[in-house]
Amino acid sequence: MSETIFTKIINREIPADIVHEDDLSLAFRDINPQAPVHLLIIPKKPIATINDITEGDRELVGHLHWVAAKLASDMGFAEDGYRVVMNCGENAGQTVFHIHLHLLAGKPLGWPPYTDRMKQA
């Protein structure tokens, strides 16, 4: 797959507000926050979309959720609650083709979490 902006963040070629790093993953603050806390948790391995996750990636994808829970606990919003979501493809509005968990917290979050981007004909 072609390199995305997230590979540049992993490689420290562009700056980001990094809140967690380990061998498998990186977490940093979203540049366009949709909640008081809006983190992106990404694997260091570039995987374009959920559709590209292989059997061998199962542990890695689980690891991203473990990081989400750890950050929620460490940052003090685990008990208040938060949302973890991963967009896949055009209809979900995915814009960066390197999978990432959005972790949103710090206020009551509405449901459903979207507004229609296209009007019905």
Residues serving a catalytic function are: 100
DSSP H or E segment with residue 68: helix 58-75
Structure tokens at 92: 């979900």
Residue of 10, 47, 68, 87 interacting with ligand DGP (CB under 6 A): 87
Counting contacts by CB under 6 A, is residue 1 touching ligand DGP?
no
Segment lying near ligand DGP (by CB under 6 A), choices 22-30, 57-65, 66-74, 109-117:
22-30
Among 18, 48, 66, 94, binds ligand DGP (CB under 6 A): 94
Q: Is 73 in the site for ligand DGP (CB under 6 A)?
A: no
- The dihedral over CA atoms of 35, 2, 49, 79, expressed in degrees to the nearest 10, equals -30
Whole-angstrom distance, CA of residue 18 vs CA of residue 22: 11
The span of 24-32, 50-58, 70-78, 103-111 binding ligand DGP (CB under 6 A) equals: 24-32
Q: Which residues contact 68 (CB under 8 A, 6 or more apart)?
A: 41, 84, 101, 103
Q: Which residues bind ligand DGP (CB under 6 A)?
A: 5, 16, 28-32, 40, 87, 93-96
